[in-house]
Chains A and B, each alone.
Chain A
């Protein structure tokens, strides 16, 4: 016995799941076998009238199926068989002659929820950690243990699709409302109430596994075929809009759910297993699982090699109340850290505070916070014009304009206004951490903490280590980033750091393509169909062309002709077109910030003859150059490894996750093919393209 133990009391078998040697419960083959053996033993115990299945782990019922198991699948057939085996375990629960209650407290996801769905009843704790969901599609697979079959039957297609397709979770309240839970009980009294529940149903098996709630809507949409057809049609439309057809799993899940509601359970499960097999070997699935693994690795990574402990951070300071400063202050306050936000003018503070409040307003609107938390959190931001109160701050993030002189002045001021223990971070996107720290008495406490815009939505933070930055400071910055629920990536202090450095040649290349006569819409469209969240010109308009040009100069200084900017981008900048911020960039924008066509004078700066270019050719130009720069970064050890680099690009630029990252894309496209093409371009480019040695010399794949 490794995972399950049984305790019989008052004619009830308390079945505890407590996987040895693991922090959380996971479903794997061994656990499945063990559970089935245990159930068949229990059948013989005549005095038992009911079973309560619960978890021995804190705040986790079952976290899901073992991902290693899914990742190890190499063929569709193997995947299908695995699914069937898992379904067998679920069936053993469903067809057990005695009623089973799942007493759920904490995380109940994926395979965990499928186990719970196979039980007769679900009694759910009211604790805030309790969440139920089927996140499989986020990993490129579908629920394959009967979840796609049992859930829609139980709660109706509408609610089931909401849970399966988006991979989002529901809390105890919503679980009760949708019919997924039969009762919500105080978490302290979970087992007592589960027992009481068994008594209430008089120890009877559930007859009908249908519990559709929602009154008239349910009648119109869930309980008749016409309504369901409408639900499926809308769901499909929505999935295609969300995934742009790049992710096959949600569509497969949709088919399985549809099928489940019109055939027998046995048939439906068979189809689920088949589709699970199909999905389990797609490159998208493998890439998403890879990302999951790296993400887990980053979560555990302290960011330094020494065993130094991060400092506790209780109070934050932000200097500069612009879009970034306001965003960072919001993030800290949202995570319950008081923030002192300094700027030199009231107007700036008002703007910073109001932009932070807008994010809180949205959170309130979406009920992510209640009105009490809303008031408590936003008021944690204290705007100020002076340094009073900075003495007691633990961690200060500077977010003033990108100007070395001004930043150095701010750091000098900070040094004389903070305690010896305070860590000083800069949110620079382009200035060297070492230059900022050079005249300070304590350069070891200076670190880069590069957030991306908009702060509350972009998951990545580059933690930039200067030459003198101490391990403790890096580890503290990494820990703080995690506390903010962001992904920290430790990178070397080098121009553009990681993300912007790799992004810059891509943006430059887009400019040169346009200069050669390719229309900017075609370029943006090609990037979109590649899977980027927006095209390069749209991106530059969003970021601000002035900022792009400023960063471009920094890169040019560092990488010379290799980082040449197109004259188009420069001309647009000189024409005073800064992008969305002044409603005119490469595109024009109306007052509602909607795009209103391409500006006439943009055309003036591009080649007079329109050049047609196939989308895949545009994509090669854009993304091969990106791969090339990524290789240079690996070569210079800007970041730990290829996996981390790919995470940086996915979380920092929205590089399509289904492709697994820039270097994973290179592997799939063919490293030598890319190298050969780049070498050809190098000779034509007059120094603009310089092929990374890593790319030409090894020719090896980045992922083994």
Chain B
């Protein structure tokens, strides 16, 4: 008999476009803010945590196993172990999935899970040639050797490799993420206007949610030197189709339709949730907000990675026996408008589903229950964090609507999809 796994509560930092308000905030600090606040809100003694699991992609050089660093800096006792998970864009969802698995395996009852990313702080790298040059220099033991090493210097050695751009290129198919979105736009004949309209709606829904204070329920502020950042820094209140229309395609300048305006921005942020068994929650007198029913990860063609949600949701529904019609809410990460639209087209078209060889039949998703508070096009997509953020946002919205089932899903660079089914408690 599998254990019932529940989420007690969680928080996230505001999401802020990289290079802006959180430019000087380390990823450890983003994690610490979330973990300390999650502990305060749930009121648990951190010593009862069995393990801390945090997802992160651009793992900082000065904080190996960043999950452990965050745990210690948040006042979690030394005796509580921690590990970091990396499933690219779904790392933040992987942390919850891993906790789910460990609970089922009998490896603990209480897990602090999350996803954190500071894309502002992903470093520039030296090329292999340059590092060989520096190594040679440091190995030189005599003046002639030093001189010899120095003669091998070329100015081109100083040209940095931008790690963040490299990370966004699929190393197998050679396309960058935006180009994979272009592939989907072509495959499913998605026009520039369709994408821009989708992007505009994302901003509009996000702004409404902001104004209603909906995000206030899940955000904990980050205190900077001169202010408290308590709101997402990215959504545009005055976004218009006209403004979106003026932007030039970025990834395919000649035939493309994917622009910075209909893609998610590079972003900094963190999110954490407290996961435990339902029995443990009862014993501690805590009120869980949702149950993690199940999850699924699926693989697909890396050059069409954006279709990951369709694959993973199909797999998840097959596994759980649910139908799309039974799901009350969907949170599908908006990496690119073209990519979400492609998924929606597959959802409602049996032929496309057969062509894609989905394992289980899907049906149309009512747009009224999809990303009801906007999504990553407006909020941004701190890659390792979004998975947790989607689960958190979904859990809070299920409660707000008094709805029962919801699915959070993302496409994953490298050709995967991830989906998690929650039930409100």
Chain A: residues with CB nearer than 8 A to chain B?
338, 340, 346-347, 349-350, 353-354, 357, 375-376, 379-380, 382-384, 388-389, 391-392
Contacts and interface: CB of A to CB of B under 8 A. Distances in A.
Interface in B226-255: 226-228, 230
A353 B223 contact: yes
B394 to A, nearest CB: 22
B205 interface: no
Interface residues of B, number: 19
Contacts of A353: 223
B41 A388 contact: yes
Interface string B36-58: 11011101010000000000000
Contacts of B224: 350
A389 B227 CA distance: 22
9 contacts: A350-B224, A350-B226, A350-B228, A357-B225, A380-B75, A382-B36, A382-B37, A389-B43, A392-B45
Given A376-B73, A379-B29, A382-B36, A350 B227 contact: yes
A338 B73 CA distance: 11
Contact of B40 (A347, A380, A388): A388
Contacts of B227: 346, 350
B304 interface: no
B32 interface: yes
Interface in B15-47: 29, 32, 36-37, 39-41, 43, 45
A375 B37 CA distance: 18
A354 B227 CA distance: 9
Nearest to A349: B228
A379 B29 CA distance: 8
Contacts of B221: 346, 383
Contacts of B75: 338, 380
Given A376-B73, A379-B29, A379-B73, A340 B40 contact: yes
Contacts of A357: 225
Contacts of B43: 388-389, 391-392
Contacts, number: 43
Nearest to A387: B40
Give the most central of A340, A354, A376: most B CB within 10 Å: A354
Contact of B32 (A340, A379, A383, A392): A379
Given A346-B221, A350-B226, A389 B39 contact: yes
A389 B42 CA distance: 8
B36 A346 contact: no
B270 to A, nearest CB: 14
A432 B312 CA distance: 65
Nearest to B229: A346
A528 B39 CA distance: 51
B37 A354 contact: no
B228 A384 contact: no
A138 B224 CA distance: 42
A347 B223 CA distance: 10
A322 to B, nearest CB: 16
A346 B73 contact: no
Given A357-B225, A382-B40, 7 more contacts: A346-B230, A347-B228, A375-B73, A382-B36, A382-B37, A388-B41, A392-B43
A380 B36 CA distance: 9
A349 B222 CA distance: 11
A347 B221 CA distance: 12
Nearest to A354: B225
A350 B222 CA distance: 10
Interface of A is mostly: helix
A613 to B, nearest CB: 48
Nearest to A392: B43
A325 to B, nearest CB: 15
Contact of A383 (B45, B223, B225, B226): B223
Contacts of B36: 382
Given A346-B221, A346-B228, A353-B223, A384 B73 contact: no
B353 to A, nearest CB: 46
Contacts of A350: 223-224, 226-228
Contacts of A392: 43, 45
Contacts of B32: 379
A660 to B, nearest CB: 44
A391 B29 CA distance: 24
A353 B225 CA distance: 8
Contact of A389 (B41, B225, B226, B228): B41
A375 B29 CA distance: 9
A391 B45 CA distance: 11
Contacts of B226: 350, 354
A340 B39 CA distance: 12
10 smallest A-B Cβ distances: which pairs? A389-B40, A346-B228, A388-B41, A391-B43, A388-B40, A382-B36, A353-B223, A350-B228, A338-B75, A383-B223
Interface string B61-84: 000000000000101000000000
Contacts of A389: 37, 39-41, 43
A312 to B, nearest CB: 14
Interface string B94-133: 0000000000000000000000000000000000000000
Contacts of B225: 354, 357
Give the most central of B45, B75, B224: most A CB within 10 Å: B75
Nearest to B220: A384
Nearest to B74: A379
B198 to A, nearest CB: 34
A88 B32 CA distance: 60
B80 to A, nearest CB: 16
Contacts of A346: 221, 227-228, 230
A321 to B, nearest CB: 11
A382 B75 CA distance: 11
Nearest to B227: A350
Contacts of A388: 40-41, 43
A375 B74 CA distance: 12
Contacts of A375: 73
A501 B117 CA distance: 55
B122 to A, nearest CB: 20
A245 B103 CA distance: 72
Nearest to B221: A346
A384 B39 CA distance: 13
Interface in B168-183: none
Give the most central of B75, B228, B230: most A CB within 10 Å: B228
Given A353-B223, A389-B41, A392-B45, A383 B228 contact: yes
Contacts of A391: 43
Contacts of B37: 382, 384, 389
A391 B223 CA distance: 23
A254 B221 CA distance: 56
Interface string B177-202: 00000000000000000000000000
A380 to B, nearest CB: 8
Contacts of A376: 73
A362 to B, nearest CB: 15
Contacts of B228: 346-347, 349-350, 383
A378 to B, nearest CB: 10
A516 to B, nearest CB: 47
Contacts of B29: 379
Give the most central of A375, A383, A388: most B CB within 10 Å: A388
B289 to A, nearest CB: 15
A659 B36 CA distance: 49
B25 to A, nearest CB: 11
A399 B376 CA distance: 41
A389 B43 CA distance: 6
A331 to B, nearest CB: 18
Nearest to B44: A392
A376 B43 CA distance: 22
A375 B24 CA distance: 14
A329 to B, nearest CB: 12
Give the most central of A340, A357, A383: most B CB within 10 Å: A383
B223 A384 contact: no
Nearest to B39: A389
Interface in B270-312: none
